[in-house]
Amino acid sequence: MPTLSKPFISLLSFLLLFPAVSLSLNVSVSTAQPSAAFSISPSFLSFSIEQDRWTDWVGTTSRNQIFFNTLDNLIQITGEPPHIRIGANSEDHTDFSDSVKFSEAIFPAVTSTVPYPEATNITVGDGFYEAAQFLPPNTHVTWGLNLGQNNLTAAVLEAKSLAKAFSSPSIKSAGIILDAIEIGNEVDLYSNNGLRPKSYTSTQYVKEWTTFATNVTAAISSFPISPKFWGGAFAGSSHSTSGFSPQAIFAEGVLSSSAGALISTISEHRYSGSFCSGSGGLLQDLMTKSTIRSNLTQFSPDVAATQAKGLDFVLGETNSYSCHGAPGVSNTAGAALWTLDYLLFASQLGILRVFFHEGIGFKYNLIQPLTLTRSILDGTPLSTPLPPHIQPQYYAAIIAGEAIGNSGNTHVTELDINNARVSGYAFYEGKTLARVVLINSQAFFTTTTTPRTSTHIDLNLSGTNAPTTMTVKRLSVPHADDTTGLTWGGQTYETSNARVSGTLQVTKVAVTSGVDIQETEVVMLTF
């Protein structure tokens, strides 16, 4: 065997230690806020909570400290709590009883596909709504009422208890606000899930919604609160004046009644695919830049129609794959990159807020707030209970929060990057460039046999007073299919109390040096 020279050994060691740079990109960034940049709220990333186990999230007689900590982490970064929507599928299976203190639920059998199913029936009492007192101060809440069972009495009783809770001293003194009431969840699926006849139409929905909303408005009129309504909450959209869509219900007069005039927001739902039948999606497909954009741009006509009525548009429920996510996909580090790119691209469409759906034991959760005794992947019993913890997607919330900041006056624009895997967004405060987020969505797996490559980004800063140095912070991801081991700037949130731990690691470099970004990595540049 020939003897290797020392210079060759040194070069070989370098190549093994550092990823190969396979590509170089020039990215133009304006130092002054472009006129087309979108305003973005500190609470742009918010949460939708499955209603059946609401008190498991927030607490009953005392707060769930882990859940509180995960929200408080974001408040410390952005200065504002995420908004909370409580409802979803179990919203339409909820009844009220004065004899129930918090809630009583009936659940279907566990399956390998759905290890943590939603309740088929939930009966709640006053304490269920009063538990909102354990949310962080100044949290804004949207709460769902039951339309699916077509029981007006149940909806009115729920509304009265809800209004009483949000009028109570404990909730009012904390500044916790009932922003809106949602009546019915995914009514466009009622004809498929047995809640309505196969012939059910949006015209009938508008009539029913108006009756329920009118009675709910009357029922809570004596309370010192003034919530608005969310309309829609559709699982899909025809994007036209036929079928179920904002355009259709506007044409059918949903806004013309006194109750309809209280609609402030149109909500629609979106999942990138479905795992309900047991066939999961591929992680790289989920992460892919073009897939993210095609999933979201379809809402552009709906956003435009909504804004033309002077209303806000939100994705009131969204996540990776419906039916609680796909195993080995929704719960992985790659899903964190998907979440960040999906979230920030949504900001470019005029969407006001994005509510990521959460439920106890759901695979796509950002947060698991309760000890779990069976696998989220297949429902098998765990030999050791799994304590509360964050999942990889939570890092996307942290990164987005830092990118948006706490000024309350941040704008964001997508950068023009001619690459199928690399995305970028520039954030402006006071009309001046503050930060850039870069995302490399090329998946690097535990099974990948080729070296992990890196893309070099050269920034072309245009405008006056261009900064000459920048601070680089990285989301370190061992592999796209890993479920733990991520760090943001050298720090971890994978702790027993969900608080950040570790020493912050950032580097300061010249802008002219550019930056390398690995496969499955996020980089934030601060100027």
Tens digit of pLDDT for each residue in 292-349? 999 999 999 999 999 999 999 999 999 999 889 999 999 999 999 999 999 999 999 9
Tens digit of pLDDT for each residue in 238-278? 999 999 999 999 999 999 999 999 999 999 999 998 887 66
Q: Residue 220 belongs to what H/E stretch?
A: none
Q: What is the CATH number of the domain that holds 443?
A: 2.60.40.1180
Strand-strand pairing, 228-234 and 263-274: parallel
d(C-alpha 421, C-alpha 424), whole Å: 10
Does 184 lie in the same domain as 328?
yes
Residue 8 lies in a domain: no
Does 481 lie in the same domain as 358?
no
Tell me which of 17-21, 129-133, 199-203, 367-371 is least confident: 17-21
Paired residues of 30 in beta bridges: 462
What is the pLDDT confidence band of residue 280, given thresholds at 50, 70 and 90? low
Query: What 3-state class would DSSP assign to 87?
Result: strand
DSSP state of 282: P
Does 420 lie in the same domain as 318?
no
Pair 204, 147: CB distance under 8 Å: no
Look up the domain containing 483 and give its range.
17-38+408-526
Helices (H), 220-260: 246-251
User: Residues 6 or more apart from 16 whose CB is under 8 A from it?
Assistant: none
**Pick from 369, 404, 439: which residue ends a domain?**
404
Number of domains the chain contains: 2
- The average confidence (pLDDT) of the chain is 95
Does 204 lie in the same domain as 88?
yes
Task: Sort residue 243 into left (φ over 0), alpha (ψ -120 to 50) or beta.
Answer: left
d(C-alpha 266, C-alpha 253), whole Å: 14
Residue 2 lies in a domain: no
Does 99 lie in the same domain as 237?
yes
Amino acid symbol at 314: V
Tens digit of pLDDT for each residue in 139-167? 999 999 999 999 999 999 999 999 999 99
Residue 55: count of CB within 10 angstroms of its CB: 18
